[in-house]
Amino acid sequence: MANGHPSFLALLFPPPALGSYRTLKMESDEPDGHSLSRRAEWCDVTPLPQDDGPNPVVPIAYKEEFRETMDYFRAIYQADERSPRAFRLTRQAIVANPGNYTVWHFRRLLLQTLNVDLYEELDFLQQIANSNSKNYQLWHHRRWVVERLGIDARAKELQLTKKILSLDAKNYHAWSHRQWVLQALGGWEDELDYCQQLLEEDIFNNSAWNQRYFVITRSPFLGGLKAMRESEVRYTVEAILAKPENESPWRYLRGLYKDNIEVWVNDPQISLVCLKVMNAKSNYVFALSMLLDLLCHGFQPSEEFRDAVDALWTSDNHPLDSDLAKAVCCILEHVDSLRASYWRWRKCKLPLAA
């Protein structure tokens, strides 16, 4: 026995780096309040201080508890000790600094070696999720765990991301995770409805629009972009007309015709929504912008478009250009003056009038 300890202590002090532990249950691991250095469990381990050197820069004034946790972690990590106590220590280190990707990585090695119940791991992640919902390492770890659990974990993941999104409907990591779950494990059936619901709550939620695009293009139940286009155009046009200042549906509308410019240019619904918004004379920047794009791609406007554009120009001093695209650029230069430089550039780039 190492260190000459009597053999009955072997159960309390499992020697390091044995790989033979079976399905290890997580004991509730509330710290007993004593620092690691005073706990019998750790008495055989020499903590390893950080090799900061004599004059480190960006030195952090670690609290004693933090320093100690990390000193013991370093020792365990360097020794590659795959034990239950090492596993418990990684939790402590993660709670102290959830950004320490080395600890997370080592925890994954331990999960494998110790064959820990991965559903319990999900519970652990759940406990720290709310205060760490924007932490890359946590989400990556979760993905790793769920990958190993497979389809049985799917419902829980969709539920978790939904909950996080109910608190912050644009959490980038939550959306990313949700997308990964759908692609890896399925569950697409209710996703379009979910997007719908989020958009009803907040039509300006661009993440929800992005998710909608994700669903209609990738869901195995929906037949793909072309099949969905007609109904989606109707939905999007309605959203635009309700709030023409909302950029999201405009970009979404354009996205519905990705790789299908010809169809986009010739679809009367597209030019019609631009016309309607221009005629309403309110919040028409995106309408003008889309009209400009249409014209650049060969759209042949009827007189109505010319009339609508002219109606937006109120200066008597400078008549509008006879070329409609140039005229649109001029108006945009003035009504969207923050982007005047961009509109000047667009005007420069226009093909010469026939």
Q: Which of 173, 232, 273, 327 binds another protein (CB under 8 A)?
A: 173
Does position 95 bind another protein by CB under 8 A? no
Q: Which of 5, 34, 148, 258 binds another protein (CB under 8 A)?
A: 258
CB 252 within 8 A of CB 238: no
Residue 16 one-letter amino acid: P
Burial label, 33 (beta-carbon count in 10 A; 0-12, 13-18, 19+): exposed
Burial label, 333 (beta-carbon count in 10 A; 0-12, 13-18, 19+): middle
Pattern of binders to another protein over 186-225, x per CB under 8 A? ---------------xxxxxxx--x--xx---x-------
Does position 80 bind another protein by CB under 8 A? no
Between CA 57 and CA 70 the distance in angstroms is 19
Does position 248 bind another protein by CB under 8 A? yes
Q: Which of 14, 39, 97, 117 binds another protein (CB under 8 A)?
A: 97
Between CA 52 and CA 24 the distance in angstroms is 36
Query: Which residue's CB is nearer to another protein, number 21 or number 66?
Result: 66
Between CA 239 and CA 209 the distance in angstroms is 11
Residues across the chain: 354
Does position 298 bind another protein by CB under 8 A? no
Does position 266 bind another protein by CB under 8 A? no
- The minimum distance between CB 45 and another protein, in angstroms, equals 16
**Residues 40-51: b if buried by 16+ CB within 10 A, e if exposed:** ebbeebebbeee
125-154: contacts with another protein (CB under 8 A): 131-132, 134-137, 139-140, 143-144
Instruction: Number of residues interacting with another protein: please give it, by CB under 8 A.
Output: 90
- The minimum distance between CB 41 and another protein, in angstroms, equals 23
User: At a CB cut-off of 8 Å and minimum separation 6, what does 279 contact?
Assistant: 308, 311
226: annotated active-site residue: no
Given 134, 243, 258, 281, the catalytic residue:
134
Burial label, 191 (beta-carbon count in 10 A; 0-12, 13-18, 19+): buried
37-66: contacts with another protein (CB under 8 A): 48, 50-53, 55-63, 66
Query: Which residue's CB is nearer to another protein, number 83 or number 289?
Result: 289
CB 324 within 8 A of CB 295: yes
Does position 156 bind another protein by CB under 8 A? no
Does position 231 bind another protein by CB under 8 A? no
Query: Catalytic amino acids?
Result: 134
